[in-house]
Amino acid sequence: MTTTNLVRIAAQSILKNKMRALLTMLGIIIGVGAVIVMVAVGLGARSQIRDSIQSLGSNMIVITPGSANTGGVNMGAGTFSRLTVEDAEKIAREATLITGVSPVINTNGQVIAAGRNWRSRINGVSTDYERIRDWPTASGVWFDESDVRAIRRVALLGSTVAQNLFPDQDPVGQRIQIRNVPFDVIGVLAPKGQTAGGMDNDDIILVPYTTANTRLSGRSFIGQIVASALSEEQLAAAQEEIREILRESHDIVGEDDFTVRDQTDLAAAASASTETMGMLLAAIASISLLVGGIGIMNIMLVSVTERTREIGIRMAIGARGKDVLTQFLVESVVMSLLGGLIGLGMGVAGATILGRVMGWSTEVSPITALVAIGFSAMVGVFFGFYPARKAAGLNPIEALRYE
């Protein structure tokens, strides 16, 4: 019997009992759909994390106060601060493997302009921050070294701040007030979008760090220092160089009182939650495929019982055991493939809807679709083999007598 005839007979058998076949395929449909959604969400999340990390800047190194391990106890970065502007200036003078360094003085405040107000993050940074974060202006210009030295009250607005304070005009040349301190807007930053954690990069105002330190913060210690390595290959060496400079600056003998990280560490931390979600969905998909496979085996066993007389007639007119085996295997595989295709369609639709409703980034991979369909066919072969073998092993005489 040709393959075409086998597939035609299998399709006729499935169509004869549409509802039973659909319920049998339900496990395969759910399993394949879950696999597609899982991979789409995972790939989308990884892509978003990658874009978010790249948006931080090229070869960026972040120095934060606090050690990840202090006195044998895991304290975590940011537990206390001994970083100063002088530390950043010392790194800039002595480090040979970086292209730029900037202190980051973090604060928040109410910003008032043209009868509107908006609460935003205000970061005091140096001129190197533009190169480190690869953050040009959409309009206007960055402040320069003379602005930093003269402690000028000039500001760069993130696009979110600009839209909320000056919705219908260019903010450049306008004046804003941060904590009742007037600042002149000299530029608007190009949009960066959201971070992997959902924070708006563009809801920010950048001012010279000297101005932030004297006019807004007034604290001796700073929250962060950022730097940029000469190349990706020299990231590790640049981190070690910065570590040695800061240990000397802080007169450290034992554990560091600071933490030095690069983009790889940030990406790994951001990927942890997506991997957990992926494992959960993979478990759901595996259980669904197992249940679907058992359902197919069950329905094929029922089919063998129902068609015992038909099998006897086929054998009586010359069909061999392997022909019957092949016929029932093909039916099992066709049912699994059909369920896999329906599951594929539902998975793609589900990933698309999930992306739009939840605002997540999803990415359907053609390779994943092919693997899911191939795996559903394997489920059909695996769980259909026993019923097919049972059908092939029937005694023709007994099968013809069966009522």
Structure confidence at residue 355 (pLDDT): 78
Using the structure block, give the residue that is written with the tokens 């000039």: 154
Task: Say how far apart CA 226 and CA 208 lie, in whole Å.
Answer: 15
Structure confidence at residue 367 (pLDDT): 80
310 confidence band (pLDDT: 50, 70, 90): low
Task: Say how far apart CA 331 and CA 102 lie, in whole Å.
Answer: 67
Q: Contact at 8 Å (CB) between 49 and 364?
A: no
Q: Contact at 8 Å (CB) between 234 and 99?
A: no
Mean of all residue pLDDT scores within the chain: 78
Structure confidence at residue 134 (pLDDT): 86
Q: Contact at 8 Å (CB) between 40 and 351?
A: yes
The larger pLDDT score, comparing residue 275 to residue 161, is at 161
Q: Quick check: 183 pLDDT over 60?
A: yes
Mean pLDDT of 322-335: 74
Structure confidence at residue 396 (pLDDT): 62
Q: Quick check: 78 pLDDT over 60?
A: no
Packing angle, helices 235-249 and 85-94, rounded to 10: 130
Query: Which range, 37-41, 203-207, 395-399, has the best average confidence (pLDDT)?
Result: 203-207
What is the phi-psi region of residue 140: left when phi exceeds 0, alpha when psi lies from -120 to 50, beta otherwise?
left
Structure confidence at residue 74 (pLDDT): 44
Structure confidence at residue 171 (pLDDT): 92
Task: Say how far apart CA 79 and CA 99 lie, in whole Å.
Answer: 28
Q: Quick check: 11 pLDDT over 90?
A: no
71 confidence band (pLDDT: 50, 70, 90): very low
| Structure confidence by residue, pLDDT tens digits, 137-176 | 999 999 999 999 999 999 999 999 999 999 888 899 999 9
Residue 204 CA, chain-centre distance (Å), reads 24
Q: Quick check: 388 pLDDT over 90?
A: no
73 confidence band (pLDDT: 50, 70, 90): very low
Domain boundaries, given as residue ranges, for the chain: 3-51+270-401, 103-223
Residue 172 CA, chain-centre distance (Å), reads 36
